[in-house]
A and B are shown apart, each in its own frame.
Chain A
Amino acid sequence: MIANEEQPFISLLGTSGILLQAPAPLQLETQQKIWGLAEQVESWPNVLEAIPGMNNIMITYLELPEDIEPIKAKLLDAWRHVEGIQKDGKVIDLPVIYGGTECGPHMQDVVTHTGLSIEEIVRRHTAPLYPVYALGSHPGFCYLGGMDSTLATPRRQVPITDLPGGAVSIGGVQTGVSASQGPSGWNTIGRTKMQFFDVNKMPPALCRPGDYIRFCVEEIIQ
C-alpha cells in the first residue's frame, strides 16, 4: 500500500522490524524528516537500530512486543512533530572515467534509452550535488537523491553478477557508486576510485546520510 498524502504507512517486517513509509514523493525535505525521526527513535526502549531508507525508515528489535499499536501510535505522533534535520554534511568529490567497455559498459544502453549523447549524459550527471539519502545494499553503499530525471534508465533485465567496486551506475531514477564487487541490476556508465568502507574505522562507512557526492569528469571514453 502506498502512503497517502498526509499519513505515513506503517507495516511489519516480521517479528523483528517495523517499516514506516513516508508520503510520496521522494524529496530532500521528507528525507530530512526521516533523519530526524531516526535520531529520536534510536533511543526508544528495546530499539536495536533505526535505519533510514529511501523515503522510509526501518526500526529493528530483537523481538517486537505482541501489541504494537502503542509503538505505531508513538511513531505517527513522532512523525507529526519531528523537525527535518539540515545536516552540514561533507562533500566528496569523485573523479569519474565515463564510458568505454571497461569503465562504462552500459553507457550505450543509457544513450539508447534517453536519446542523449554521451557528452550530454555526462554533463547532466556531473551537474548536481547529490545528497546521500541513506546507506544500504552492501557495506558503505550510498543511496543518492537528486539525479536529473532525464537520465532515468530502467534496471537491467538480467542483473550482472560481478559489478566491480567503484562502478558508477544508474538504476531507474537513482544513481550510485558500488562500494565493493558484487551483483547489481543497474546500468554502469563510469568508474571511480574511492574506499567507501573501512571496517577498522568508526563509523566504518565513509558517508553518512546528509553528506554529498559530486561527480566530476576525469575522462570520457567514446
Chain B
Amino acid sequence: MIEIMSSAALCTVQDFGRLTSRQYGVGTAGAMDQLSLAAANIMLGNPENSASIEIPIFPFKVRFTQDCDFSVTGTEGEVSLDNSRLPTWWAYSAKAGQVLTIHQPKKGCRAYLALGGGIDVPIVLGSRSTQLRGEFGGLEGRMLQKGDCLPAIQATDNRPLDFGMTSPLSALAFEQENTIELRVVTAAEYDEYATEAKELFWNNRWKVTPQSNRYGYRLHGTEIRPEKPIETLSHGIVPGVIQIPPGGQPIIQLRDAQPSGGYPKFGTVIEADLWRIGQAAIGKHIVFKEVSLKDAAAAMQQNKRYLDDVKQMISLQEAFV
C-alpha cells in the first residue's frame, strides 16, 4: 500500500485502457505512454497491462506503508527514496515507511509509478483505467488527491530489486532540437484539402499549446483550411486521430477523448508513436510524417523489440541473482 503525500491533481490510475466499451459511449482512457507503462510492469515481473499511476505533475510524493517493490518509468530524471537519490527507469524495493519523491523530469513529461503486482483497484468494464467522464475505474473514477491510499496486488516477493533500464526516450530516437516527429496515416477527409494545405500540414512545426492534456493535444501553427467547409456525421474515433476544427489548428484526440466526433480528420498518428505524444511536453514542437501501414507495422515491431530487450535484461538480472 502507498499513501499519496503531495497534491496529485491530474494524476490517475491507468492500464492499457478499455478497448471494448466504445459501443456504450465509453472512451478508452488508458496510459498516454503505454510503452513506459509496459516497461515499468515488466521490470517488476507484473503483467504488462497492470495498473500504475500516471504522473504529469512534479514533485510527486508517496509513502510506502509496507515493504513494496516499485519502478518509475516514463520520464528521464531523478527520484529520492528518503535521502538517497536514484534515477528514473529504475526498479527498487522500498521498506515500510520510506518516502519516494519523483522530481521534475529532465526529459519527457509523464512518469509512471508501478507497484509489485500492479495497483489493486477494481476492474470495471475490462480495465482498471480511470474514466473521468463516466466517474468509474481507477480510484473512485477520479484524479488522485493527497491522502489517497492505493494497495498493491503483490507488494513484494521478498527479492530485493535494484536495477535500471534504458528509456525509449533514449533508445528510440525521441526528439531533435525540441521537435518530436510523429508518423501519420492519412484519414477520410485528407483529399478534401488542397495541395498547399497538405504541404502546410506536413511542413509546419506545430507547437504543443498549454491546452494539451489527456483529452487531446491542441497544436498551434499556420492555419489549415479545406477547399470548402466539410460536413461529417458523428462517427467513432480512436486515440491519435488528428482533427482540424473550423479554426484551422489541429487537435490530436487522445486517451480521454470522446469515442466519437464529427470534425474533419486529416490523419491519425500511428499507434506505435502515441507514447511519444505522452512524453511531449507543452512548448515542444511536433512535425508529422506520412507513412504507409507497412511502415506503421515496422514501427510497432521496433517498439516490441524494445520491450523484448527489457525482458531479456530482466532475465539476465534474474540469472545473476
Contacts and interface: CB of A to CB of B under 8 A. Distances in A.
Contacts of A65: 293, 297
A205 B25 contact: yes
Interface in B115-156: 124-125, 131, 133-136
B234 A15 contact: no
Nearest to B16: A62
B23 A53 contact: no
A153 B127 CA distance: 38
Interface in B252-279: 258-260, 265, 267-272
A141 B134 CA distance: 11
Contacts of B19: 48-49, 60, 62
Nearest to A68: B293
A54 B234 contact: yes
A63 to B, nearest CB: 6
B192 interface: yes
Contact of B124 (A50, A67, A182, A199): A199
Contacts of A58: 22, 235-238
Nearest to B234: A54
Given A12-B186, A136-B259, A21 B235 contact: yes
Contacts of B186: 12
Q: Which of B23, B238, B269 has the most CB of A within 10 A?
A: B23
Interface of B is mostly: mixed
B320 interface: no
B20 interface: yes
B233 A63 contact: no
A12 B187 contact: yes
Q: How large is the interface on B (under 10, 10 to 19, 20 to 34, 35 or more residues)?
A: 35 or more
B241 A14 contact: yes
Interface in B281-297: 293-294, 296-297
Nearest to B236: A58
Contact of A15 (B20, B25, B131, B300): B300
Contact of B188 (A11, A26, A134, A141): A11
A199 B269 CA distance: 30
A63 B25 contact: no
B188 A66 contact: no
Interface in B168-203: 185-189, 191-192
Given A9-B188, A48-B19, A53 B234 contact: yes
Contact of B135 (A19, A67, A180, A204): A180
Contacts of B235: 19, 21, 53-54, 56, 58
Contacts of A53: 233-236, 260
B240 interface: yes
Q: Which 10 A-B pairs have the closest CB atoms?
A: A58-B236, A14-B268, A136-B260, A53-B235, A11-B188, A54-B233, A139-B134, A205-B24, A135-B25, A56-B235
18 contacts: A1-B191, A14-B240, A14-B268, A15-B185, A15-B268, A48-B20, A51-B23, A53-B234, A56-B236, A58-B235, A63-B271, A63-B297, A64-B293, A135-B23, A136-B234, A137-B25, A139-B131, A143-B234
Interface of A: 1, 9, 11-17, 19, 21, 26, 48-58, 60, 62-68, 134-141, 143, 174, 179-180, 182, 197, 199, 203-205
Interface of B: 19-27, 124-125, 131, 133-136, 185-189, 191-192, 233-238, 240-241, 258-260, 265, 267-272, 293-294, 296-297, 300
Given A21-B235, A137-B260, 16 more contacts: A1-B192, A12-B185, A13-B237, A14-B185, A14-B240, A15-B271, A51-B259, A54-B234, A63-B271, A68-B293, A135-B25, A137-B259, A139-B133, A180-B135, A197-B24, A204-B125
